[in-house]
Chains A and B, each alone.
Chain A
Amino acid sequence: MNTAFHFDTLVWDWPIAVYLLLIGISSGMVIIAVLLKRYILVVNAADDGVIKATTIIAPLTVILGLVILIFHLARSWTFWYLMVFYNPHSIMSLGVMLFQIYMAVLILWIIAIYQAKISDIINLAWVSRLVRLIAKGERGLDIIMIFLAVLLGVYTGFLLLALKSYPLLNNPVLPLLFLASGLTSAVAMAILCGLMFYKQSVHSPSLAFIHKLELPLIIMEFGLLAVFFIGLIFGGGQKEVAATTALRGFWGAVFWLGVMGLGILLPIALKLLCSERTKFNKAYLVTMSAIGLCSVFILRMFILYAGQMVMA
């Protein structure tokens, strides 16, 4: 009984795609927030909607992603073994280490952002002293944080790349593709939150900066996808079979319509066709961001399912 969602060689199903999406959002938002902090909002970063959104969404998406992962284990209650036993050869095990460091630094980084507010609210001498100590390292934290976020962004790619059993996944372009699509989803998320929850102006410095990232990211993603498939096709053998199988049938349709159509062609076309006024229309931006998020999820679903259809 083989269908698009159930076939013999399928091991990991859709919750993993949700996990990949969430981790990508977290990584991308932190990268963008650090860039914003360092280059655009040199003072008062804590008052910016995008930064505020990042300090909430970046940790939440990771926690939610990990919860999904834990419930996806066949023995969920043994999840803590992952934090006790390590295998340095296993990308997943290295990922567990990365998650712990990432979360720890993320908390410090967030404290540093809200240093003034925390000292205002909690009127304890030792708290302010601690916060001041953390805030002193803000520059360093920014650099470590962006480094960890890039690692997290490529990590999900390496997780699948390590599977030499599936030629489509065992592809060196995958980590970069996931990093780029993570950034795309983060841009969409940042615009959505900035506009909807923080009522930020479309012309505010942070949203204007993020807006400028959109097109280059989409073009980069297109290039990476092209290299991804051209590499597979010229690789011959099962690589070629994997690529041609993925680009046909149900998952082929998902790719051409969802990834290429919604994720790449539609935004490029609208960028070229729409007037400046529409481009800064709030409803338009919210819709486009929602479509952007969907297309990133579709990409992750496509890679996950189509990737497991053909074995080496």
Chain B
Amino acid sequence: MGVSRRGFIMGIGGAALAANPINRILAEVINPQTLVIGNIRYGMVHDETKCICCRACILPCHRENKVPAEVTRLDSLDNGTYRELNKNSRQFVRKSCQHCDNPPCVAVCPTGASYKDPKTGIVDVHHDRCVGCRYCLAACPYHVRFIHPLSKTADKCNFCRDTNLAAGKPPACVAICPVKALTFGNLDDPDSDIAKLIASKTVYRNKLYLGTSPKLYHIAGKFGEIRG
């Protein structure tokens, strides 16, 4: 089933509607970019109310995906300290590729090295085709791409597509998180953990106004403003 967030909530609202093929076809006509019918559309949720910024997610990402230490595919950024019940609480936001459904990095790439895999919705790089022009690094509004120091090609999170995912395991960062702040799965499957989580919480996505349709969802921290 294809899902934009609104379509998704409607779908959850009535199982009959969600299963109705006419609804799916209509939805694709209305919003073809964000809808892939009958396929997997991987996404991720980062729960800022749970994240403690232990940075445990960063290490296995480097190890599993052979990312040299001077660069990183993900980061955890400070989002302010707040007072709660007489103790200070800190909040963090995840910085990593949003796997945009309408990815600017793919649109600008002159050689087609940057691409979105239509079967999974994962945005990835054909490393053997990348010339290292850095156009995609500049075009990404989330500033998560870098030139890999060894391959000299553009690199970023690919949901562990060649490593853990290929081996049938959840992405390395998701698997290791001690507080289960990360949820990964198929946004198009209403029974998946991620779909249920998004349906049951207030979530936000970054820079929606740019039309990128990111697939990294955030559950906002308890305090302060959302800097989306």
Contacts and interface: CB of A to CB of B under 8 A. Distances in A.
| Main DSSP-derived SS at the B contact region | loop
Nearest to B104: A164
Interface stretch (B66-74, B107-115, B162-170): B107-115
Quick one: which of A11, A91, A163 has the most chain B CB within 10 A? A11
A82 B130 contact: no
A14 interface: no
Given A75-B153, A87-B112, A96-B110, A165 B132 contact: no
A89 B152 contact: no
Contacts of A197: none
Nearest to B135: A92
B210 A73 contact: no
Contacts of A73: 131-133
A81 interface: yes
Contacts of B135: 90, 92
Interface in A151-187: 162-166
B180 interface: no
Contact of B210 (A87, A92, A162, A164): A164
| Chain B contact patch, size range | 20 to 34
B111 A165 contact: no
Interface in A65-102: 72-75, 78-79, 81-82, 85-87, 89-93, 95-96
Contacts of B147: 74
Contact of B141 (A12, A82, A164): A164
Nearest to B149: A74
Contacts of A11: 134, 137-138
B139 interface: yes
A312 interface: yes
A287 interface: no
A170 to B, nearest CB: 9
A312 B141 contact: yes
B106 to A, nearest CB: 8
B222 interface: no
A126 B210 CA distance: 58
14 contacts: A11-B137, A72-B133, A74-B152, A75-B153, A78-B130, A78-B132, A81-B131, A82-B110, A86-B112, A87-B111, A87-B112, A90-B107, A162-B108, A312-B141
Interface of B: 104, 106-113, 129-135, 137-141, 143, 147, 152-153, 207, 210
Interface of A: 8-9, 11-12, 72-75, 78-79, 81-82, 85-87, 89-93, 95-96, 162-166, 308, 311-312
